[in-house]
């Protein structure tokens, strides 16, 4: 089967990591899978043999946004996929329109955020609601029970297309020794080190981590990621006089992320809005004790099947993060308990299970005919195949 994945921007972020795993897993199952990005944002996919770009830079204005969509339509027409799987708000809109115009038989959207009521995101939510109700895409994938619940007030015509497939999370094939990992990234040896990963954006709330650093003398913080908040974080660190204990290592490949996680003593996650929290689950599976924002969705995904929390949940502010980190650094038994529970999440979020669930969507004849497949969502239960 020929499958085309549509992403908005090419950068190392959570949605892109998911399409990487889906593509790799489905290719291993014998499918022809490529990913097309509406535009190139960083160089992380430049050497990916399965990646294509419509624009080689972020669109500058409405005209270039239209050119990106028209370019996608032309790309879909040339590729002639059996199925289109789209990700993120703009990817869902552009991917669905292009697939419809080109007569693609199976169209699958992915919800990467909860519905919004205000601003541009509110406008995009209304477009998504219309697309789902009208059946412009055949299946609408949500990645957690919490995310599914956010659409409870939507019309039945929309909700009948919802399908829950929990994200897969890649476990590291190997982890270097902590001392060697620190040397690779130029991080100091012999000091308590908290690490974090994720795009440097306001919603990830990295300012709370930097603020916590000011309350933890002797502790260092390293963050892997790129984004518009980098300079603000550096200015805040200078103002709080912790600039010599903050280490921003930039954007890393998936393999680089695993190496980076091996350098840390504890993982800190201060995000204020998530639909799953891929980065923090990845850290837990890698065996790091986790201090995480007390969000309902994180309590869901960071709890083992037998009910054990794989994180210490704290308020997502500087005081809460600082208190949580201090507790983990001071209590080796707590750190071990959290790390043990985190490793147990590996089976819950197996990439192979996720890929099998996507394959099941495509294998149903009903999906190709433009109707819902016979598998149905079962509330908080994950889709099984």
Of 72, 66, 67, 77, residue with least CA distance to 52 = 72
Q: What is the pLDDT of residue 363?
A: 78
Q: What is the pLDDT of residue 261?
A: 95
Q: Taking a C-beta distance cutoff of 8 angstroms, is the pair 51, 45 a contact? A: yes
3-state per-residue secondary structure call for the chain:
CEEEEEEEEECCCHHHHHHHHHHHHHHHCCCEEEEEEEEECCCCCCCCCCEEEEECCCCCCHHHHHHHHHHHHHHHHHHCCCEEEECCHHHHHHHHHHHHHCCCCEEEEECCCCCCCCHHHHHHHHHHHHHHHHCCCCEEEECCHHHHHCCCCCCHHHHCCEEECCCCCCCCCCCCCHHHHHHHCCCCCCCCEEEEECCCCHHHCHHHHHHHHCCCCCCEEEEECCCCCHHHHHHHHHHCCCHHHEEEEECCCHHHHHHHHCCCCEEEECCCCCCCCHHHHHHHHCCCCEEEECCHHHHHHCECCCCCECCEEECCCHHHHHHHHHHHHHCHHHHHHHHHHHHHHHHHCCHHHHHHHHHHHHHCHHHHCCCCCCCCCECCECCCC
pLDDT 10s digit of each residue in the chain, 385 long? 999 999 999 998 889 999 999 999 999 999 999 999 999 999 999 999 999 999 999 999 999 999 999 999 999 999 999 999 999 999 999 999 999 999 998 999 999 888 988 998 899 999 999 999 999 999 999 999 999 999 999 999 999 999 999 999 988 876 666 678 899 999 999 999 999 999 999 999 999 999 999 999 999 999 999 999 999 999 999 999 999 999 999 999 887 899 999 999 999 999 999 999 999 999 999 999 999 999 999 999 999 999 999 999 999 999 999 999 999 999 999 999 999 999 999 999 999 999 999 999 887 644 543 443 333 333 333 333 3
- At 189-210, the pLDDT tens digits run 999 999 999 999 999 999 999 9
Q: What is the pLDDT of residue 374?
A: 35
Q: What is the pLDDT of residue 121?
A: 87
Q: Taking a C-beta distance cutoff of 8 angstroms, is the pair 35, 3 a contact? A: no
Q: What is the pLDDT of residue 284?
A: 97
Q: What is the pLDDT of residue 362?
A: 85
Q: What is the pLDDT of residue 371?
A: 42
Q: What is the pLDDT of residue 373?
A: 38
Q: Cβ-count burial of 372 within 10 angstroms (0-12 exposed, 13-18 middle, 19+ buried)?
A: middle
Q: Taking a C-beta distance cutoff of 8 angstroms, is the pair 42, 12 a contact? A: yes
> Which domains, from first to last, does the chain contain?
2-168+350-368 (3.40.50.2000), 178-348 (3.40.50.2000)
Q: What is the pLDDT of residue 82?
A: 94
State pTM to two decimals. Answer: 0.87
């Amino acid at each position: 089967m020929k499958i085309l994945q549509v992403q908005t921007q090419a950068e190392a972020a959570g949605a892109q990591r998911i399409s990487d795993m889906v593509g790799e897993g489905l290719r291993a199952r014998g499918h022809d899978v490529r990913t097309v990005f509406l535009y190139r944002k960083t160089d992380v996919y430049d050497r990916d043999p399965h990646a294509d770009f419509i624009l080689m830079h972020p669109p500058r204005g409405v005209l270039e946004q239209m050119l990106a969509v028209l370019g996608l339509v032309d790309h879909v027409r040339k590729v002639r996929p059996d199925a289109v799987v789209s990700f993120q708000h703009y990817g869902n809109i552009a991917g669905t329109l292009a697939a419809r115009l080109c007569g693609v038989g199976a169209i699958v959207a992915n919800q990467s955020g909860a519905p919004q009521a205000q601003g541009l995101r509110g406008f995009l939510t209304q477009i998504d609601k219309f697309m789902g109700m009208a059946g412009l895409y055949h299946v609408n994938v949500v990645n957690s029970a919490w995310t599914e619940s956010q659409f409870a007030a939507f019309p039945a015509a929309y909700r009948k297309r919802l399908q829950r497939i929990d994200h897969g999370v890649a476990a590291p094939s190997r982890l270097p020794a902590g001392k060697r990992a620190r040397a690779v990234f130029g991080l100091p040896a012999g000091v308590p080190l908290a690490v974090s990963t994720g795009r440097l954006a306001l919603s990830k709330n990295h300012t709370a981590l930097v603020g916590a650093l000011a309350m933890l003398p002797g502790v260092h913080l390293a963050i892997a990621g790129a984004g518009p908040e980098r300079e603000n974080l550096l200015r805040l660190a200078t103002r709080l006089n912790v600039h010599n204990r903050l280490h921003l290592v930039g954007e890393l490949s998936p393999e680089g992320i695993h190496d980076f996680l091996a350098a840390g003593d504890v993982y800190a996650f201060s995000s204020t809005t998530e639909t799953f929290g891929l980065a923090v689950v990845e850290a837990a599976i890698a065996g790091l004790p986790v201090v995480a924002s007390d969000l309902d969705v994180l309590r869901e995904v960071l709890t083992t099947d037998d009910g054990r929390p794989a994180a210490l949940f704290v308020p997502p502010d500087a005081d809460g993060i600082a208190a949580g980190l201090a507790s983990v650094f001071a209590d080796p038994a707590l750190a071990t308990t959290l790390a043990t529970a985190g490793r147990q999440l590996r089976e819950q979020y197996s990439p192979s299970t996720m890929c099998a669930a996507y394959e099941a969507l495509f294998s149903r004849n009903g999906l190709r005919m433009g109707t819902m497949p016979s598998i149905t969502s079962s509330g908080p239960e994950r889709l099984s195949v």
